[in-house]
Amino acid sequence: MNTKPPFAMLFSVGMISAAALAYEVLLMRLFAIIQWHHFAFMVISLALLGYGVSGAVLALKREWLMQHFARILVANMLLFAAAAPLCFQLAQAIPFNPAEMLWAPVQWLYLCAIYLLLAIPFFFAANVIGSAFYQYRDRVSSVYAADLLGAGAGSLGIILLLFLIFPQKILTVPIVLAMAAALIAANYGLPEKGTMFGAWFSAPVILGVAVIFMLTEFMTLNVSPYKGLNQLLRVPGTKIIARDTSPLGLLSVVSSGITPLRHAPGLSLNATAEPPEQLAVFIDADNISAITRYNGNPASVSYLDQTTSALPYHLNRIDDILILGAGTGSDILQARYHGVNQIDAVELNGRIVALVKEKYADFSGHIYASPGIKVHVDDARGYLATTNKTHKLVNISLLDGFGSAAGLYSLAENYLYTEQAIRDYLRHLSPDGFLSITRWIKVPPRDEVKLLATVIAALKKAGIQQPGQQMLMIRGWQTSTLLIKNGVITRHEIDSLKQFCQARGFDPVYYPGIAEAEVNRFNMQQQPYLYRSITALLGDDSRAFMAAYKFNVEVATDDKPYLFHFFKWETLPEVLPLLRSGGGFLLESGYLLLVAALAQAIFASLILIGLPLCLCGNKLGIQPGSSNHLNILLYFFCLGLAFLFIEIAFIQKFVLILHHPLYAVTVVLGTFLLSAGAGSHYSRKYPAIGKRPPVLMPIAAIAGLSLLYVLNFEAIGGFVLGLGLVGRYLLSVLLIAPLGFCMGMPFPMALARLSQTAPALIPWAWGINGCASVISAILATLIAMQFGFTALIMLAIGFYGLALWCFPTLAR
């Protein structure tokens, strides 16, 4: 055995790791398009399942595999290249619909099939890395560093490509990386290169790359028929006329040549004006909005005065407005109709702004280039952190799709509607200015009630003793609008609200002094849900109301930013009998999908990883009841849980700073992996200090840094948000890198110890760590949703402490 791996071998390991991580990030984007974004958690778990199963196979067949190391290494690189596109295409063909899981048991089988199918490419990639670990076990830290550095580079590189190329086309990148890794390993990294890997090997690989490029040209995405884009395309005469892509989403513009498109959310049933010609815009085949034809005459968009979101314009004179989430421009047109001259429009997705401002500038009446309009391509809270400007009206209108009503977005971190966010918005109101939030109507109410609880908590935290004196709310048949004033509501404003509602057939929900007899008159509901909810939340027994409510309506905070998470386990027995009569909409399919994925992850990891290792313990030299082997198992299992718990928590926390889940995954994951790779490389040179376990200082540093960040994240986040875009990214990397550096040390330190005392257990430890990682990727999200990110990180610190306690026995 060559104890020092050639540089070409380390480079090949780095390339296959880059290919695997690029494929993982790419799967998140692809599944966000063809299904929904909450598959990201399953993608992380299935990747780790492949790594865990690989550890079990290597542990059981290590001697045979090492005898054929060169063939096995190159073969697995090529198998990854072949399996990556094939498994994705097969997974697309499975007719899985998460919304049907509760009443169609076959959907569980479909989910399991997708889960196992997409784990296959990661299994081949992990075989390369795991076999290199064992082959070069005397230099395991170097191999681990190459693995992590390559993975970090792959995750960062793929995000850049997503700005330039459509996601399905990028699928060639991990394939080419894997094939290139095979070529480099075969020709420069293996001692057998002169006998079995000559020039004849290169030709078929190059030919294979060319074939794959041709095949991917014909690859299409099989988007779920239940997503909004496919639903609209069933209408005769509709067609996609433009596409654009970025990491923030795949944009599709749809026109209708026969039936006119009409997109006017919350339009009064009494309205007589109709929208002009419109083009539908979808993000990731869902979340419809519209570009409206505008000729410069405000009267042509008078229909926008017949929506609930028009209420603030009828209460006071509005001179300037801040629109958060300007999108395709409907809120700008509404402000223009009401004579607002100064408009600050904030939109995160620059591609949407470019679409309206450039490609469809004539169609939209050049609204983004109109005098008095300032466009800010930024996140809402990021922009607010960089300005002290105040406004008469801050408007947030329907920034998410109606699908959230069905629980499809229950797993999404949403920092726009947290207690801290509401306080940010209120600080940017002029005296007597209004914050306006328009939401979709659901029956029975869920996110509206949670939003009310959050707003009331924010007002109280801001020192407002009587929040009800500063709040107004109305509803129509489809939308509701909540107003929060920077001042006390006046009698004139109440009278104006009544007149506005009477003329449009909207229902008052709340104003100071309202009586129950005044609500629920036009758009009749079984009972005045929202009125009773807001009066209870403003009362002295609001905590009891939230506890007794059938859905989770606890205040959303930056520590638990899940506005759309309403699931309560105690309500489940009441809802299940209603499924056969159409009560499925009362359950969160996204949350239940996560629970189902966790159950499958536990089952799969135990059957495919744990059971083989247990049944073949004698072959591995594991003695039943041995405390040493139990501690080895516990050490690597705890590391698998703790590493992913911190990683997932930081990914979700940094969504606030980096503005989008994919950016957070890429930057946080990439930085963790790159810095952990550097830490792994350094661990080989880490000096021993007396009789202390070598992992003591790294684990102590992990605990200290984690506590520092989690206890001060609100202050840290506020400071970082106040920087420019580049500054946010750079400081995010600087904040994460020291923690990642320390987190990269405990695993190779333990493997190095095992290489001296029990080298046969190295693949077993790799498999146990993978088993824990499979479970932790999903479990971390469930814990964060129930208890918050602080609890998740504290739990991770506890697991690191338990691992530290187990480490001394690894030397025996």
Indicate whether 369 and 444 sit together in one domain: yes
Indicate whether 104 and 213 sit together in one domain: yes
The answer to whether the beta carbons of residues 436 and 480 sit under 8 Å apart is: no
DSSP states of 441-469: --SS-SHHHHHHHHHHHHHHHTT-S-GGG
Distance CA 716, CA 153 (A): 26
Indicate whether 332 and 433 sit together in one domain: yes
- On the question of pLDDT at 55 being above 60, the answer is yes
**Per-residue confidence at 195, pLDDT binned at 50, 70, 90?**
very low
**Over the range 404-417, which residues count as b (16 or more CB within 10 Å of their CB) and which as e?**
bbbbbbbbbbbbbb
Indicate whether 379 and 493 sit together in one domain: yes
DSSP states of 368-436: GGSTTEEEEES-HHHHHTT----EEEEEEE--S-GGGGGTTTTT---TTSSHHHHHHHHHTEEEEEEEE
Percent of the chain exceeding pLDDT 90 equals 35
pLDDT at res. 412: 67
pLDDT at res. 217: 59
Indicate whether 542 and 606 sit together in one domain: no
- On the question of pLDDT at 136 being above 50, the answer is yes
The one-letter amino acid code at 695 reads V
318 contact partners, CB below 8 Å, separation of at least 6: 312, 335, 338, 340, 392, 393
Asked if residue 571 belongs to a domain, the reply is no
For residue 487, CA distances in Å to 350, 745, 799 come to 35, 55, 49
The one-letter amino acid code at 308 reads T
Distance CA 378, CA 384 (A): 10
Asked if residue 1 belongs to a domain, the reply is no
Higher pLDDT, 197 or 638: 638
Distance of CA 310 to the CA centre of its chain: 32
Distance CA 419, CA 396 (A): 15
**Per-residue confidence at 253, pLDDT binned at 50, 70, 90?**
very high
Distance CA 442, CA 529 (A): 10
**Per-residue confidence at 37, pLDDT binned at 50, 70, 90?**
low
**Per-residue confidence at 376, pLDDT binned at 50, 70, 90?**
very high
Indicate whether 593 and 619 sit together in one domain: yes
Asked if residue 185 belongs to a domain, the reply is yes
Cβ burial of 220 (10 Å; 0-12, 13-18, 19+) is exposed
pLDDT at res. 405: 34
184 phi/psi in degrees, rounded to 5: -65, -45
**Torsion angle of the four alpha carbons 519, 521, 523, 527, in this order, in degrees rounded to the nearest 10:** 60
- On the question of pLDDT at 353 being above 90, the answer is yes
| Residue 208 φ/ψ region, left for φ over 0, alpha for ψ in the -120 to 50 degree band, beta for the rest | alpha
How confident is the model over 76-81, as a mean pLDDT?
A: 89
Nearest to 134 by CA among 765, 614, 779, 720: 765
Higher pLDDT, 278 or 223: 278
* SS3 state of residue 270: coil
* SS3 state of residue 258: coil
How confident is the model over 624-645, as a mean pLDDT?
A: 78
Q: Which of 29-33, 43-47, 542-546, 637-641 bottoms out in mean pLDDT, i.e. has the lowest?
A: 43-47
Q: What does the block give as tokens for 467?
A: 């929040």
The pTM (predicted TM-score) of the whole model is 0.86
pLDDT at res. 204: 63
pLDDT at res. 196: 47
- On the question of pLDDT at 407 being above 60, the answer is no
The answer to whether the beta carbons of residues 661 and 40 sit under 8 Å apart is: yes
pLDDT at res. 1: 47
Asked if residue 408 belongs to a domain, the reply is yes
How confident is the model over 517-535, as a mean pLDDT?
A: 91
* SS3 state of residue 291: strand
Asked if residue 578 belongs to a domain, the reply is no
Look-up of token digits 């020709």: 187
pLDDT at res. 406: 37
Distance CA 51, CA 488 (A): 59
Asked if residue 567 belongs to a domain, the reply is no
Question: How many structural domains comprise the chain?
Answer: 3
Indicate whether 241 and 317 sit together in one domain: no
339 contact partners, CB below 8 Å, separation of at least 6: 298
pLDDT at res. 3: 64
Higher pLDDT, 686 or 426: 426
251 phi/psi in degrees, rounded to 5: -90, 135
Q: What is the CB neighbour count within 10 angstroms for residue 100?
A: 16
- On the question of pLDDT at 691 being above 70, the answer is no
Distance CA 40, CA 44 (A): 6
CATH code for the domain of 331 = 3.40.50.150
- On the question of pLDDT at 770 being above 90, the answer is no
pLDDT at res. 218: 61
Distance CA 316, CA 304 (A): 17
pLDDT at res. 41: 59
**Per-residue confidence at 389, pLDDT binned at 50, 70, 90?**
very high
Domain end call among 544, 561, 578:
561
Q: What does the block give as tokens for 419?
A: 């207690």
Domain with 108, as residue range(s), is 7-221+588-811
Nearest to 387 by CA among 422, 428, 346: 428
Distance of CA 275 to the CA centre of its chain: 34
Q: Tens digits of per-residue pLDDT, 455-464? A: 999 999 999 9
Q: Tens digits of per-residue pLDDT, 547-594? A: 999 889 999 999 999 888 888 888 777 777 666 666 666 666 667 777
21 contact partners, CB below 8 Å, separation of at least 6: 150, 151, 152, 154, 155, 158, 669, 673
* DSSP designation for 440: E
- On the question of pLDDT at 619 being above 80, the answer is no
Asked if residue 795 belongs to a domain, the reply is yes
Indicate whether 195 and 89 sit together in one domain: yes
Q: What does the block give as tokens for 13?
A: 């390991």
Percent of the chain exceeding pLDDT 70 equals 85
327 phi/psi in degrees, rounded to 5: 55, -130
Distance CA 439, CA 395 (A): 12
Indicate whether 239 and 271 sit together in one domain: yes
DSSP states of 58-69: HHHSHHHHHHTH
Asked if residue 702 belongs to a domain, the reply is yes
**Per-residue confidence at 398, pLDDT binned at 50, 70, 90?**
confident
Q: Which of 201-210, 585-594, 654-663 bottoms out in mean pLDDT, i.e. has the lowest?
A: 201-210
pLDDT at res. 207: 62
The answer to whether the beta carbons of residues 510 and 535 sit under 8 Å apart is: yes
3-state SS of 667-679 is HHHHHHHHHHHHH
For residue 712, CA distances in Å to 506, 697, 699, 741, 792 come to 44, 22, 20, 20, 15
pLDDT at res. 201: 55
Indicate whether 472 and 594 sit together in one domain: no
Distance CA 108, CA 111 (A): 5
Mean pLDDT, the chain, rounded, equals 83
pLDDT at res. 579: 66
**Per-residue confidence at 408, pLDDT binned at 50, 70, 90?**
very low
- On the question of pLDDT at 812 being above 50, the answer is no
Q: Tens digits of per-residue pLDDT, 527-547? A: 899 999 999 999 988 999 999
- On the question of pLDDT at 194 being above 60, the answer is no
Distance CA 287, CA 774 (A): 31
Helix (H) or strand (E) holding 344: strand 342-347
Indicate whether 557 and 669 sit together in one domain: no
Indicate whether 118 and 265 sit together in one domain: no
